[in-house]
A and B are shown apart, each in its own frame.
Chain A
Amino acid sequence: MARTIAIVEDDPAIRANYVDALRRQGYEVSAHADRPAAMAAFAIRLPDLALIDVGLGDEPEGGFELCRSLRAMSARLPILFLSARDSDFDIVSGLRLGADDYLTKDISLPHLLARVAALFRRVDALTAGSPGEEVLERGELRLDAKRFVVSWRDRPVDLTLTEFWMVHSLAKFPGHVKGRDQLMRDAQLVVDEATITSHIKRIRKKFAAVDPGFDRIDTLYGMGYRWTSDGA
């Protein structure tokens, strides 16, 4: 059975383009222009994944509202924000509301499709509960590239997809410096460098929530970041 994706986007051209691209991938897509229409549809049936714009028609924060309602309906439904708004404040707000990722609209369609596919894989892996094959272990860090779950000292770290890919990129070759450009590429993200900085900050915070003494991500100003292994 084809997976269903709901797109809530007020711009008809973008909406149609996304619908076409996703349909081409074999997804079943339902598109909604505003929050009430989307809520009406969700009340009947929840999609497998929701792609939401933050500003919806008359409601500048309609997407956030919608995300909150959706999260209340389902704790595990993958929610992806796709917005023209790229301020730190918006990103933090979106992620706090329980979205799985926050993308800006300059992401290319192939990248978007890759993310959607990755999110579905993560959901599948979580529901199946089977151990993934692509597990990356670096000391106390355990990255499951199949299920997109991370654990530090056997405690799960709740990372978004973007953050996961960044950590993955850093930890794959500990000690190697990853430039911001490279991180962006690995996370399949097109953002400016300041946003990378705030992503790294958030990642550090999430690890620090599990282990207050966490200090494995080094900043090399002007060059990038690196993962330091034990004792390094």
Chain B
Amino acid sequence: MALRVRLRTKLALVSLVLLIVPWTGYRYIVEMERFLLEGQQQALLATAKAIATTLHEKPALMRLTTPLRAPRQETDAATDGSAPVETAIPVPADMGQSADRDASREDESLAELLRGAERSNVRLWIANREFKILAVAGSLKPAEADGEPGRWQRLLAWLIHPPARDFDDAFDEDMLAAGPEVTGALLGAGGTRVRNTRDDRAVVVSAAHPIWAADNVVGVVVAEETTNPILSVKNEALGRLVILTLAALGAVGLFLLGFASRLSARIRRLRDEAESAVDARGRIASLATASTAGDEIGDLSRSFSTILGRLAQHHAYLESLASRLSHELRTPVAVVQSSLDNLRMEGVSPQAAVYVERAGDGLTRLSRILSRMSEASRLEASLVARERERYDLSTVVGNCTEGYRLAYPAQDFVLEVPGFPVMVNGSPDLAAQLLDKLAANAADFSSPGRPIRVALSAAAGRAVLAVANNGPCLAEGTAGKLFDSMVSIRPGGGEEPHLGLGLYVARLIAEFHGGSIAAENLPGRDGVAVVVTLPTAP
């Protein structure tokens, strides 16, 4: 079975295309983050550079244990004996207390320097070329909690993780040594690096800048900062994006849903109208009201209404055709009739009288056809104003069958009626007319010598009247059409004209009684039963 997807569902699926909007927003935010990160790196590098600049040409502060490779110029200067660098460079192994004191003083001054350049959440390092950390200042962690996260942020926490406040900011000298930015700086080129903290809970951006002493790199300044500020900005943007997108999607979704509902409601209404416009008998029961909407559905509704209108006209024309035709033909028939009568009265020769009689016979048949043709439409017209009464159907059936025994002397009738009255609502005259049609029909098709069975039964609020005869079966597919106007399924010929209105009249009467009529082959396929089902009147 094909999956039935409603218009509303389809439109909802189509509206998923709107998800491209938040995606674009997300891409933009990622781009922004990258840009900010770059800015942060530059800023850190600038900080590191600034500090490094103040430390240039002060190799003593670096407390190197290995001598510097003296640059040529320095060597020239050293011959003057005024180069303190060389004197300071060798660090004897037995430096002793004073050297320690010196070192702590120098560290003190470095720390002083760093504190001066310190910014919140930025950690500054100074290390010498031997990866010995000389001074540290600042902390990667924020000094104090920067406000509680907003309600929305908390709501979206499952989606957007707030930057970790609590991470392992322990410093690892190996990491420092392994850091490409530090080694890069020691080789003379400042650089930046983005790395994770050891516990992977935060991302740290670090920038390193070399400290020069003449041509030698004597140390590095490292500035570190977590990307948390950027993350905060990004998260805020993401949160706003999510909320805005959700709101927009919700609004658009609601709007589309409403639109689709209205659209499908209109289409459904049109469908219902179209379906109810034609009743079970294929007649135009009511015209669809043309919508005044200016769109395509309105157009469809209008053209539907027009088509139905035309169809109804044509239908009415066809239906009235038989009665109009019979009415129109009545006058010329009357002319022929009165002329023949006059001819008879004038007296004609015996030879001519034969022809007058034949003409009379033909005319009689013609008149009968005409009255049959108008019978159905006359009945239809009279049904509208006909009063209903409650009567015993079994009496009518019994009486009628008695009558048929007289009317069809060559035909046997078997009557089966229940021993109690079967009360129905309708018109006994019409019921008799219905039975007349069924009996006439059964008599026409009955095999000679076989009885026609007229059976009435009542159960569960229904009266079932069956008229069955032995004879030819109904061909497949014809059973339903039998009761339509002007449908006759007969082998052909015969004296009596057959217009296919008899069973149609029967159906009109059955429907007048609120019931239905159907024809079916007998179980043994040796005849046909016409079954009328009527609701009983309690």
- A contact set with B: CB distance below 8 Å: 11, 13-14, 17-18, 20-21, 24, 84-89, 104-106, 108-110, 179, 190, 192-194, 197, 219-224
- Asked, given contacts A219-B428, A223-B406, whether A11 binds B371 with beta carbons under 8 Å apart, the answer is no
Q: Does B345 interact with chain A (Cβ within 8 Å)? A: yes
Q: Do A84 and B342 touch across chains, with their CB atoms under 8 A apart?
A: no
Q: Does B431 interact with chain A (Cβ within 8 Å)? A: yes
Q: Do A222 and B432 touch across chains, with their CB atoms under 8 A apart?
A: yes
- Asked, given contacts A11-B335, A14-B335, A87-B378, whether A222 binds B401 with beta carbons under 8 Å apart, the answer is yes
Q: Do B374 and A86 touch across chains, with their CB atoms under 8 A apart?
A: yes
Q: Do A84 and B330 touch across chains, with their CB atoms under 8 A apart?
A: yes
- Chain A residues near B339: list those with CB within 8 A: 13, 17
- Chain B residues near A220: list those with CB within 8 A: 399, 402-403
The answer for the CA separation of A222 and B334 in the assembled complex, in Å, is 30
B440 vs chain A, min Cβ distance (A): 11
Contact pick for A221, options B371, B374, B381, B428, CB 8 Å: B428
Q: Does B395 interact with chain A (Cβ within 8 Å)? A: yes
Q: Do B337 and A106 touch across chains, with their CB atoms under 8 A apart?
A: yes
- Chain A residues near B367: list those with CB within 8 A: 106, 190
The 8 A CB mask of B427-454 against A (1 = contact, 0 = none) is 0110111011000000000000000000
Q: Does B379 interact with chain A (Cβ within 8 Å)? A: yes
The 8 A CB mask of B341-369 against A (1 = contact, 0 = none) is 11001000000000000000000000100
- Chain B residues near A14: list those with CB within 8 A: 331, 334-335, 338
Q: Which interface residue of B331, B337, B338, B401 has the most chain A CB atoms within 10 A?
A: B338
Q: Does B484 interact with chain A (Cβ within 8 Å)? A: no
In the complex, besides A14-B334, A106-B333, 19 extra interface pairs with C-beta distance below 8 angstroms are: A11-B335, A13-B335, A17-B341, A21-B338, A108-B341, A109-B338, A109-B345, A110-B345, A193-B433, A194-B378, A194-B379, A197-B429, A220-B399, A221-B396, A221-B403, A221-B431, A221-B432, A221-B435, A224-B403
- Chain B residues near A20: list those with CB within 8 A: 342
- Chain B residues near A108: list those with CB within 8 A: 337, 341
Q: Does B511 interact with chain A (Cβ within 8 Å)? A: no
Write the chain B residue with the least CB distance to A12: B335
- Chain A residues near B337: list those with CB within 8 A: 105-106, 108-109
The answer for the CA separation of A229 and B54 in the assembled complex, in Å, is 145
Q: Do B399 and A221 touch across chains, with their CB atoms under 8 A apart?
A: yes
The answer for the CA separation of A29 and B431 in the assembled complex, in Å, is 46
The answer for the CA separation of A209 and B70 in the assembled complex, in Å, is 149
The answer for the CA separation of A197 and B509 in the assembled complex, in Å, is 15
The answer for the CA separation of A193 and B270 in the assembled complex, in Å, is 45
The answer for the CA separation of A228 and B535 in the assembled complex, in Å, is 32
Q: Does B375 interact with chain A (Cβ within 8 Å)? A: yes
Q: Do A109 and B341 touch across chains, with their CB atoms under 8 A apart?
A: yes
The answer for the CA separation of A11 and B329 in the assembled complex, in Å, is 13
* 9 nearest A-B residue pairs (beta carbon): A222-B400, A222-B403, A109-B341, A17-B338, A223-B403, A105-B334, A84-B330, A221-B432, A221-B399
Q: Does B131 interact with chain A (Cβ within 8 Å)? A: no
Q: Does B79 interact with chain A (Cβ within 8 Å)? A: no
Q: What would 25 A/B residue contacts be, using CB atoms closer than 8 Å?
A: A11-B331, A13-B339, A14-B334, A17-B338, A17-B341, A21-B342, A21-B345, A84-B331, A85-B327, A89-B381, A105-B334, A106-B337, A106-B367, A106-B371, A109-B337, A109-B341, A110-B345, A190-B367, A193-B433, A194-B379, A221-B399, A221-B428, A222-B399, A222-B402, A222-B436
- Chain B residues near A85: list those with CB within 8 A: 327
Q: Does B382 interact with chain A (Cβ within 8 Å)? A: yes
Q: Which interface residue of B330, B400, B435 has the most chain A CB atoms within 10 A?
A: B330
Contact pick for B375, options A17, A88, A194, CB 8 Å: A194
Contact pick for A192, options B330, B335, B375, CB 8 Å: B375
Size band of the interface chain B makes with A: 35 or more
Write the chain A residue with the least CB distance to B330: A84
- Chain B residues near A87: list those with CB within 8 A: 378, 381
Q: Does B404 interact with chain A (Cβ within 8 Å)? A: yes
A194 vs chain B, min Cβ distance (A): 7
Q: Do B341 and A21 touch across chains, with their CB atoms under 8 A apart?
A: yes
The answer for the CA separation of A179 and B402 in the assembled complex, in Å, is 12
B508 vs chain A, min Cβ distance (A): 12
- Chain A residues near B435: list those with CB within 8 A: 221-222
Q: Do B371 and A84 touch across chains, with their CB atoms under 8 A apart?
A: no
Write the chain B residue with the least CB distance to A177: B403
The answer for the CA separation of A106 and B329 in the assembled complex, in Å, is 11
- Chain A residues near B402: list those with CB within 8 A: 220, 222-223
Write the chain B residue with the least CB distance to A85: B327
- Asked, given contacts A13-B339, A109-B341, A221-B431, whether A194 binds B382 with beta carbons under 8 Å apart, the answer is yes
Q: Do A221 and B400 touch across chains, with their CB atoms under 8 A apart?
A: yes
Q: Which interface residue of A24, A87, A88, A222 has the most chain B CB atoms within 10 A?
A: A222
The answer for the CA separation of A86 and B406 in the assembled complex, in Å, is 29
A63 vs chain B, min Cβ distance (A): 14
Write the chain A residue with the least CB distance to B329: A84
The 8 A CB mask of B210-238 against A (1 = contact, 0 = none) is 00000000000000000000000000000
- Chain B residues near A24: list those with CB within 8 A: 345
- Asked, given contacts A13-B339, A221-B429, A222-B436, whether A105 binds B396 with beta carbons under 8 Å apart, the answer is no
- Chain A residues near B433: list those with CB within 8 A: 193-194
The answer for the CA separation of A192 and B326 in the assembled complex, in Å, is 14
Write the chain B residue with the least CB distance to A20: B342
Write the chain B residue with the least CB distance to A200: B429
Q: Do A17 and B335 touch across chains, with their CB atoms under 8 A apart?
A: yes
Write the chain B residue with the least CB distance to A201: B429
- Chain A residues near B334: list those with CB within 8 A: 11, 14, 84, 105-106
- Chain B residues near A222: list those with CB within 8 A: 396, 399-404, 432, 435-436
B28 vs chain A, min Cβ distance (A): 82
The answer for the CA separation of A86 and B329 in the assembled complex, in Å, is 13
Q: Do B342 and A17 touch across chains, with their CB atoms under 8 A apart?
A: yes
CB within 8 Å of A: which of B376-415?
378-379, 381-382, 395-396, 399-404, 406
A206 vs chain B, min Cβ distance (A): 18
CB within 8 Å of A: which of B301-350?
327, 330-331, 333-335, 337-339, 341-342, 345
The answer for the CA separation of A220 and B435 in the assembled complex, in Å, is 13
The answer for the CA separation of A89 and B382 in the assembled complex, in Å, is 9
Write the chain B residue with the least CB distance to A190: B367
Q: Which interface residue of A24, A106, A108, A224 has the most chain B CB atoms within 10 A?
A: A106
B137 vs chain A, min Cβ distance (A): 115
Q: Do A192 and B342 touch across chains, with their CB atoms under 8 A apart?
A: no
- Chain B residues near A88: list those with CB within 8 A: 378, 382
B394 vs chain A, min Cβ distance (A): 11
The answer for the CA separation of A161 and B266 in the assembled complex, in Å, is 62
A176 vs chain B, min Cβ distance (A): 13
The answer for the CA separation of A8 and B139 in the assembled complex, in Å, is 126
Write the chain B residue with the least CB distance to A104: B330
A41 vs chain B, min Cβ distance (A): 22
